[in-house]
Amino acid sequence: MNPQRNPLDFSRTAGCAGILSALLLAAWITPAQAQEPAGKDLRLFYSQHCAGCHGADGAAQGAAGKKLKGQDLTDPAWRKGTSDEKMVKVIQKGIFFGLAMPSFKKDLTSTETQRLVTEVIRKSEKGKVIGKD
């Protein structure tokens, strides 16, 4: 056989390109996958998407919260009178066609919404900033 390298043999360069694209692919996939097992940080999600209206602690006592009339999510009496299902529904659907409160259907799965209610809202306390511990 011809010991000389066949100029048409691209296997070496193809190999390089293959490794390179594998690395690029890995770099592209890894950040998303690394987050998956633990799931979304819902306390962080709250501080980024809900605190503006409901307050850093959930009590809606800040200027913005008061102006927007966000519900005081830390109010024990209100919390007793409402159900997880109702809160989940509101977070998924929003209020008044998304004008008073936006729908978060696109940002949260139903499991995430459920967890946001039981692990974040149900545990919020007046004066305790959510996502800061």
* Of 1-9, 11-19, 25-33, 95-103: span binding ligand HEC (CB under 6 A): 95-103
Question: Taking a C-beta distance cutoff of 8 angstroms, is the pair 41, 56 a contact?
Answer: no
Residue 52 lies near ligand HEC (rule: CB under 6 A): yes
Residue 55 lies near ligand HEC (rule: CB under 6 A): no
Residue 104 lies near ligand HEC (rule: CB under 6 A): yes
- Cα–Cα distance list, 46 to 11, 57, 70, 117 (Å): 51, 10, 14, 10
* Of 12-20, 22-30, 97-105, 122-130: span binding ligand HEC (CB under 6 A): 97-105
Q: How far is the CB of 69 from ligand HEC (least distance, A)?
A: 5
CA atoms within 13 A on the CB side of 62: 14
Question: Taking a C-beta distance cutoff of 8 angstroms, is the pair 126, 57 a contact?
Answer: yes
Q: How far is the CB of 20 from ligand HEC (least distance, A)?
A: 40
Nearer to ligand HEC, 4 or 53 (CB): 53
Question: Taking a C-beta distance cutoff of 8 angstroms, is the pair 54, 68 a contact?
Answer: no
CA atoms within 13 A on the CB side of 32: 5
Residue 101 phi/psi, 5-degree rounding, is -145, 130
Residue 43 lies near ligand HEC (rule: CB under 6 A): no
- Residue numbers of the site for ligand HEC (CB under 6 A)? 49-50, 52-54, 68-71, 73, 82, 86-87, 90-91, 95, 100-102, 104, 116, 121
